[in-house]
Structure 1
Amino acid sequence: MDEALFYDTLRQGLWVAFVISIPILTVALMAGLIVGLFQALTSIQEMTLTFVPKLAAIVAVFWLSMAFMSETLVSLFKDTLVPIIAGG
């Protein structure tokens, strides 16, 4: 394996990791902003109020986007990593 192939494979893997994480991180950001705004408007400073809604939103989005994540990872392995491992 030469250096260019290694860096190209690494770049593709990092890009797939970025694309897969976008839905979860976006929902976590939006949930955090909404809960923070709610806390600022009502002066409720409860720690579980920030944790539970954010966790529920992340779990829901993970469940909904699991098929997309699996397809993306499987295509990365089929198209990129398996041919390298097989020597092609």
Structure 2
Amino acid sequence: MNEADALDIMRAAVWTILVASGPCVIAGMVVGVTIAFIQALTQVQEMTLTFVPKIVAIMITIGIAAPFIGAQISLFTNLVFSRVQSGF
């Protein structure tokens, strides 16, 4: 294993993390911005008002996107195992 192989696996790992966490991050951002906009309009600055909808949205997103996230992790695992099997 040389530096190029290690960098290739690290690049694939970072890309897998970004793609797998993308749906949850986007859902949290959309809900957060929406709640912040509503708070700015109504001037209700309740701290728990931001956390509960975000948690619910992220849990729903995880439930919906679980097959996609699992497929991305499986692809990365297969990549690493195939590289190990071929001896890099």
Coordinate RMSD, CA, aligned:
1.1
CA distance in 1, matches of 2:82, 2:54: 40
Bigger RCO of structures 1 and 2 (CA < 8 A, at least 6 apart): 2
The list of structure 1 runs, each at least 4 consecutive aligned residues, that deviate by more than 2 angstroms after superposition, is 83-88
* Equivalent runs, 1:24-35 vs 2, <5 Å: 24-35=24-35
Q: What is the identity percentage for the equivalent residue pairs of Structure 1 and Structure 2? A: 32
Structure 1: stretches of 5+ with no match in the other structure: none
Match in the other structure for 1:38: 38
- Output the CA distance in 2 between the equivalents of 1:41 and 1:76: 44
TM-score (norm 1): 0.92
The number of equivalent residue pairs is 87
TM-score (norm 2): 0.92
Displacement after TM superposition at 1:87 (Å):
4.6
Gaps (5+ residues) in structure 2? none
